[in-house]
Amino acid sequence: MARDAPPIDAYGDGGFRVAGARHEGSLLIVGDAAYDWPVRRREDLDVESLAAVFAAGRAQVEFLLLGMGASNALPTREVRDAVRAAGLGLEFMDTPSAARLYNVLTSEGRRLACALIAV
């Protein structure tokens, strides 16, 4: 895993199990910390909800992996533009795929932030 990136052990039933601990609702992982994330549906995703990602900066995060819920959806232009302006890459997909990809990428040592809307 990259640094001490916490693994996603399971997802579903409205939450996640990360490093053995259950998180109800959506999840944001930046560096070695997992946080409850107030975004409950893709319409709630905005630039402000990603403040912790932007605060971490490029030294800690090279790109943002977004899990958009049960199906894939394009984030708003505002979110895409803010991620680009911060100098970060952006990948988005449905949450189950993003949770699996997060584990693969962190095992390869990639520096990423992961924001997942619960399914």
Distance set, CA 111 to CA 2, 22, 73, 83, 108 (Å): 6, 23, 23, 15, 9
Q: What is the pLDDT of residues 67-110, one digit of tens each?
A: 999 999 999 999 999 999 999 999 999 999 999 999 999 999 99
Distance CA(19)–CA(48), nearest Å, equals: 26
The CATH number given to whatever domain includes residue 25 is 3.40.1230.10
Could you tell me if residue 91 is inside a domain? yes
Q: Which of 110, 33, 119, 17 is nearest to 65 (CA)?
A: 110
3-state secondary structure of 57: helix
Could you tell me if residue 1 is inside a domain? no
For the entire predicted model, the pTM comes to 0.94
Residues spanned by the domain of 14: 8-116
Could you tell me if residue 3 is inside a domain? no
Residue-level pLDDT at 1: 45
Structural domains counted in the chain = 1
Could you tell me if residue 2 is inside a domain? no
Could you tell me if residue 45 is inside a domain? yes
29 touches 18 (CB < 8 A): yes
